Structure 1
Amino acid sequence: MQTYQLHFHPDFPPRAITRVEAQIIGFDDHLVRIRWRVDGSGSLVVPPYSGRGRQDELWRTTCFELFLRPEGGQEYVEINLSPSGRWAAYQFSGYRDGMSNRPASREPEIGLREGSTFAIFDAAIPRDVLPQLPAAMAITAILEEEGGTKSYWAMVHPQAKPDFHDPACFAATLAAPQGS
C-alpha cells in the first residue's frame, strides 16, 4: 500500500517531531486499517487510556484523523482517533456544514506502540463508517508535545491557517478493496 508523507503547517512547527507518515495497511469488506508513524516522538503528549467510546473535541490534544469525500459530492466524513481509546465519526453535508454523528456498527480498534525515537498509531475502522467509495481522502494528525507545542500535519496545507476540512486537503483517493 502507498505511504503518505504528512507535512506540518508552517505556522505551527513541531518542537522535536521530525517526520510523520501514514499508510493504509489493510482493507477488506469489514475494516480499513491505517497506520501513522511519528518520528522524533520523545516529547509527544499521549492522552492516557480512558476506555473506548465516542468523544468530541479529540483534536484538542494528540489525535489522528481521516477525512473521506465520495467522488463528485460535497458531503464528507471525518473520523477522529485518539491514543486514549476514544474516537468520533461525523458526517458533514458540505464544507463545515450540517455536522452530525456518523453511525458505526462497532467501535474502531485503536492502539499505540512507542519506541525510543518513534511512535506507531494503528486504527482499524469499521467499513460501514466509511462513505461510498471511491472517495477523496485526507489523512491528518494533530500532535501535541510537552510544553504545549501543537503541530498540524496533512498531505497538503492550502490555507494560511490549518484547516483539514478544506477541499484541497483531500489530496489522495481511497478506492474500494479489490473483489468488493
Structure 2
Amino acid sequence: MQVIIHQWAFNGSFDQLASLPRQELVNDWFGYDVEPSAEFAFATDGEFLWFLASRSKAATIHPEARPGQFQPELWRYDLAEWFMAAGDGTNYWEFNLAPNGAWWACAFSDTRRANEDIPAPLAVDTKCILTDEEWCAMARIPLNELRSVDIRDCKLAATFILDTPDQIFLTTADDLSGNPDFHRPDCFCTPILK
C-alpha cells in the first residue's frame, strides 16, 4: 500500500493534522477484515514529521503509559507505529504511539539491531482524543532528531497492533508472508510526498 506524506508549505499544527484525509487499513496481516478499520495520516512542514492514528473502537492501553511520555514496550498493548528506513541502506526508525499519546522510539542500524549511538528524539509532542468508543492520537517529531534517515529519500510503513489481548497486526508493508513481523525494511514502500 502506498503511503502519502502531505507536504505543508507552512508551520503545521495538530488541528491541521486532524483535518487531513486519512488512509485506511481494512485487513490484518492474514487478510482478515478489520472492523472498524484503522486510520492514519502523515504530514511534514520541513521541520517536523506529523503522524496521526485513529480507530472508532475502545483501546487497551499499556497500564504505565502516560500521555506525552516516553514508555517502553507499548507494543504489548494497542498502538499505532511507523517504521521509516533510509532509501539506500539498513538504517531505520521505529516510532510507537499509544492511543493516549504515550510514545517510544528507537533507531536501528540493521534489522532488530538497535543503534546505541543515536538517542530517541527529545522534543516529541503528542495529543490525543480518547473515549470509550474511539481514539485519535497524534505526534510531532523533529526531523533533525531522526538521524540516519532522510524523509526525502526513505521507505515508510504505517502499522497497528490492536484488539489486545487477542492482538491483530496491520501494516502498509507489501510482504505479509510468515508470522507478523514489522521489522522488514526491505518491504516498506517509498512514500508519495504530496
Count of residues paired in the alignment: 169
Q: 1:94 to 1:101 in 2, by over 3 A?
A: same
Task: Give the aligned CA root-mean-square deviation in angstroms.
Answer: 2.9
Residue pair 1:53, 1:107 contacting (<8 A) in 2 also: no
TM-score (norm 1): 0.76
Residues 111-166 of structure 1: CA deviation (Å, up to 9, x unaligned): 22146753222111122233223210011111234xx2211111135232111111
**Matching residue within 26, 32, 49 for 2:49:** 32
Structure 2 partner of 1:20: 38
Structure 1 unmatched ranges of 5 or more: none
Structure 1 partner of 2:188: 170
- Secondary structure of 2:61's counterpart equals coil
Structure 2 partner of 1:46: 61
Structure 2 partner of 1:124: 140
Task: Tell me which protein shows more strand as a share of its residues.
Answer: 1
**Aligned amino acid, residue 151 of structure 1:** I
**Aligned amino acid, residue 46 of structure 1:** I
**Matching residue within 103, 127, 152 for 1:111:** 127
TM-superposed CA distance for 1:54, in Å, is 2.6
State yes or no: 1:9 paired with 2:25.
no
Residue pair 2:157, 2:172 contacting (<8 A) in 1 also: yes
TM-superposed CA distance for 1:8, in Å, is 1.4
State yes or no: 1:141 paired with 2:149.
no
CA distance in 2 between partners of 1:102 and 1:88 (Å): 14
Percent identity of paired positions between Structure 1 and Structure 2:
24
